[in-house]
Structure 1
């Protein structure tokens, strides 16, 4: 469990905390047994486990790097892939890292859809301290079915320990990412905007349903428009009923609510092993749910 500026996420990478203040750094992890080229090129640093490069060295060395297999890549403080001033860097990313299965982008500046179209084989996409609101236009689409299973991230800069994804992005993930198991996003916001597509997609084909392992219902921050970030959206009783009726069984549950009725429904999520609850309507009687949960566990 990593705190990353006071925000708790399961990034499973103790080195991330040390990278937050770095800029224009690329870290590549090769397969076991990789033999470092001799002599080591300027701007390269090899510690026996990972290859660390400046962005400039990565960009200028892409023709050499592309001959090796790097399953894991981390980009820290690098420019957007869409930036016209850094198209050489974008080309290097596509040539060297297009086959990576795990990609971490610290201080990400790109749309998730753009990243998935670039990293076509990535199974785990990690976006700590993401600084891009994920609001797509209808033409921003995944170009093909994608094998991604996990999309993790946060927006600590505005106090959100999840990504701010709009409904266009989410429905694009539903349509193209059949293996998706986990997304750090405010689910109730999407359900309130587009409840029918979510439920219908799940009933027509379970593979198209949104992730079931990690449910964030209500948020410390949420998106109203691209220019308007609100404080404390909260899940209501109706939305929780809708989720329960779809027979989802999340193992991780975050709830921000102002409703005693929502608190009382928490024990209905019987498979939850990781729970975070915030009540924003005065003093909450958590005995509404925890007395039931203690009886269940006993």
Structure 2
């Protein structure tokens, strides 16, 4: 199976255009059901698999997303590069609605961290995560932003909250004081699991609002961001079309060997059931 490119679509992005030889794949995983069937096809000569993280029709809350099933399903189809598209609130004046942000750091304010790792159950792994975003893939997205002439910001910290309610003003101001740049509810678990799955990940953060810290602006509501969502979806599709042809065909970046030295448990002690469940990750270890 050739190395593939994955796309996880966020709020408003439930499908991609321009696929050749489209197919849908329902993937069963040891961690339950993914958010939806994966849609595969050829884009710019590359095998691409698309998954809407909230399901088509936006049916799944942020805290209900089965991130492990989503990332396991993608890795089982030999996805080695993953672009995540996600709606975010801005915590900085200069990060305006409809701007693109390419984060290079995350801060975890979630409460369900047991769902953010494939390990446990007899196999212990600790991947390096100091630099959580693939520098190579982020550079490709930066080039796509430049060639598409879209306003973008290179770098920044994404703070991940649980939701589904938006921030209080106190929380929003505290996040600003801590120096965070954008806020969202979904992308950090994807980044952690992608690293464990040896997938190079980078994210297109599409700004929809100023959270609620900017008192002269309307406080963020679902209705207030709809127009920005629609514009951001069109921009995301343009950026993906520009980026996909630039992604290499050989998975030889540092992220593609992230498990080297990360697994603490000797292989002869791996429980057979857990080893089988993690087959897409552990196959190269014999």
TM-score range, shorter chain: under 0.3
Which gives a bigger RCO, structure 1 or 2 (Cα 8 Å, sep 6+)? 2
Rg (Cα) greater in structure: 1
TM-score, L = length of structure 2:
0.23
TM-score, L = length of structure 1:
0.23
